[in-house]
Amino acid sequence: MMSKYITTIGEKQYTVELIDATHVSVNDKIYEIDFVVVSGQPVFSLLLNGASFQAEVYPGEEDDLMQVLMRGRLYEALVEDEREKRLSSAAGAAAQSGEFVLRAPMPGLVVKVPVEEGAQVQKGDVLLILESMKMQNELKSPREGKVTRVQVKAGDSVEQRQVMLSVE
């Protein structure tokens, strides 16, 4: 059985075809592979035309991206078969904007909220300072927008993943 996937990492797309148990092609170039999961470890080993690679590979927590941790570097890959790819292309960039929700990345104490509801923020502006693990951590806006809701204040304790504020 041959399976064909379109795998996207960053801005690059790779057409990966699984030809048989020991061959794949990537963008039509054929490689000999030997791919195994290392027993007892969440580690995969790949010999690709003899070159040895190992990686941890696991599904992401909240999205469909595969996380590939290889040689100290994390790659996030979207793997789609041809049907899924057509669907997602149709959906298009419509979902690109929308609300950004700042959740607490870990339990902690809100030290300061330097923005107010309605404030205009730029990418990189500090939205909130959270104290955790004996450190003050600045949480920044990933993009330009307007602060819509602020749901915590300085002095509040927050649980992990608690919604703190939103930017639209």
Task: Return residues touching other proteins (CB under 8 A).
Answer: 3, 5, 7, 9-10, 12, 14, 16, 18, 24, 26, 31, 33-48, 50-59, 66, 68-75, 77, 79, 105-108, 132-135, 137-140, 160
Measure the CA–CA gap between 41 and 159, rounded to whole angstroms.
Answer: 31
Measure the CA–CA gap between 113 and 99, rounded to whole angstroms.
Answer: 19
Taking the least distance from each CB to other proteins, the nearer of 48 and 119 is 48
Taking the least distance from each CB to other proteins, the nearer of 94 and 167 is 167
Please say whether the beta carbons of 73 and 4 come within 8 A. Answer: no
**Nearest distance from C-beta of residue 133 to other proteins, angstroms:** 4
Measure the CA–CA gap between 127 and 145, rounded to whole angstroms.
Answer: 12
**Nearest distance from C-beta of residue 45 to other proteins, angstroms:** 5
Taking the least distance from each CB to other proteins, the nearer of 77 and 110 is 77
**Nearest distance from C-beta of residue 144 to other proteins, angstroms:** 18
**Tokens 């819509």 map to which residue?**
148
How many Cα atoms are found within 13 Å in the side-chain-facing hemisphere of 117? 8
Please say whether the beta carbons of 106 and 90 come within 8 A. Answer: no
**Nearest distance from C-beta of residue 41 to other proteins, angstroms:** 5
